[in-house]
Chains A and B, each alone.
Chain A
Amino acid sequence: MLRLAGVFLAAVLIFFGIRAFLVPKSFGEYGHYRGDAIAEIAALPLVHAGHQSCETCHTEILETKSKGKHEGVACEACHGPQAKHADDPGSILPIKPDAGVLCAQCHEASAAKPKWFPQVAAAEHSGGVVCSTCHNPHHPLDFGG
């Protein structure tokens, strides 16, 4: 019986030895997890630049947009993620969105959409003419001049 106990004790000690070696050092720093994971996730690359960085260069468009109905619409909501462009504005140029497809995603009329939201049945509204023909995407209800 003593021999058996001895075998078990040895196994337990070996286990703790291996454990000290294998458990990641930052484990338990903030809780029952690897503390380094937080920093690793925090360091993931940005894909969207965020509208503040667009506004540092494109101030005129910002001024136009802030006067109209699209004031609260962030640039990347239509133009897509542009972190690469913001990082290197000269060489990486965003592709202009296709107004024929993009505008309808929000503004095509549907009974499912809330009543307060401006929506039209495009076929009746413009008879197939692309939205940007009449509407300035940055100031949609400005038809002047």
Chain B
Amino acid sequence: MGQIPIQGFMYPNEVELQWSVLIVLYPFLTGLVAGAFILASLERVFKVEAVKPTYRLALLTALAFLLVAPLPLQLHLGHPERSIEMYLTPHRSSAMAMFGFVYLWYLMVVLVVEIWLDYRRDIVRMAQETAGWKRWIYRALTLGSTSISERSLRIDERAGRIITVIGIPSAFLLHGYVGFIFGSVKANPWWSSPLMPVVFLFSAMVSGIAAVMLLYMATARMRSKRIDMRCLDTVARYLLYAFLIDFSLEMLDLIQRIYEADESFRSLNFMVHTRLWTSQVLIQILLGTVTPIAILFLVQVAKFGEVWRKRIYAAAGALTLIGIFAMRWNVVIGGQLFSKSFLGYTTYKMGFATREGSLTAIFLLLLPFAILWALAKLLPPWLDAQLIEKGSVPGLPTAQTP
């Protein structure tokens, strides 16, 4: 206890932070999932044809991140071997317990089913056309459902649309719930707010769209394919819209807090001006929100050539992801830096090569990309790699060639 420097007075048990950088990582990862899925649903449900090249990529991205999301939680638990208790005896009044089921629902019923339905005809083809151990994987993935007649495919299409329609509120629930886990803690005034689920959700959408946009640009370059600029411009536009809503919500929260100046305000205000200055004001707000909004807005009002637009989008995307990560940091870590007596502050000592240290966090941030790479190899998301020839199945939309 003596090693952690504190300022003022903290209740003795408050000095050591309870939730580490891994708990910062968790909402960041699930946010990317929700955001990527919403982008995918833009094409499927809202018929925004322009973003079709990113559709399958967004779904696979969502899956890759969702598979990694429980890992920081498991590493953080005092007894990860008991985590099954959350499914065996969930305490219905606990947001955390109910979230376990939201996660499971989303993973199994929404994401996996949607991916299966969308890829099914390609899986069947690949089961027939590949050889060796790969063939067994594809055969297993068909779940024995090998018909690719016109009627079967139409059923797939309709079921897929229904799943996506269910999936949109499910994605909202997935990340809104994470916001609720924090927002419902009345003991912590930095967290307790009805706005918290909404802010989390919109920042999730922003990060997810930015991530898929960057991945689309990166994978196109890696595969030496031309980028569909109409697609990219549309995605960037939706990023801007989501950002404007997100920024408004965060500013609303801030302005209201400052105006009402309740019991906790003086303490929180001091914290933001000192311990959270860099991460909140500089990184989250200026660098990670205002700058990307400004340059994305610039593209909408001024004319830029393709090269410059790509540079701006890449910069905006990267800054966005940094900013949203900072936002999670400021919520989780910031919420634990001040005393509930409002009389003091503590310090977060992040380890490096420890179970909850920064090295672990970096590894968990990179792991989804490795999984995405494997998924992309197994179930290629590229339009030009789809095995159905254009026009071979009448009545179904043909793939756009990039």
Contacts and interface: CB of A to CB of B under 8 A. Distances in A.
| A–B direct contact (CB < 8 Å) | yes
B385 interface: no
A27 B155 contact: no
Contact of B159 (A1, A3, A23, A32): A1
B143 A3 contact: yes
A15 interface: yes
Interface string B86-117: 01110110000000000000001100010010
B84 interface: yes
A4 B84 contact: no
B163 to A, nearest CB: 11
B145 interface: yes
Contacts of B88: 19, 22-23
Nearest to A7: B143
Contacts of A4: 113, 116, 143, 145
B78 interface: no
Which of B87, B88, B108 gathers most chain A CB within 10 Å?
B88
A32 B144 CA distance: 42
Contacts of B159: 1
A133 to B, nearest CB: 37
Contacts of B108: 8
Given A1-B159, A4-B116, A22-B84, A32 B145 contact: no
A15 B144 CA distance: 23
Interface residues of B, number: 15
B89 A23 contact: yes
B194 to A, nearest CB: 26
Contacts of A19: 87-88
Contacts of A27: 89
B101 to A, nearest CB: 11
Interface in A12-51: 15, 19, 22-23, 27, 32
Nearest to B91: A32
B147 to A, nearest CB: 11
A27 B116 CA distance: 39
Interface of B: 84, 87-89, 91-92, 108-109, 113, 116, 143-145, 155, 159
17 contacts: A1-B155, A1-B159, A3-B143, A3-B144, A3-B145, A4-B113, A4-B116, A4-B145, A7-B143, A15-B87, A19-B87, A19-B88, A22-B84, A22-B88, A27-B89, A32-B89, A32-B92
Interchain residue pairs A-B with the least CB separation, the first 7: A3-B143, A3-B145, A23-B88, A19-B88, A32-B91, A22-B88, A3-B144
Given A3-B143, A32-B91, 17 more contacts: A1-B155, A1-B159, A3-B144, A3-B145, A4-B143, A4-B145, A7-B143, A8-B108, A8-B109, A15-B87, A19-B87, A19-B88, A22-B84, A22-B88, A23-B88, A32-B89, A32-B92
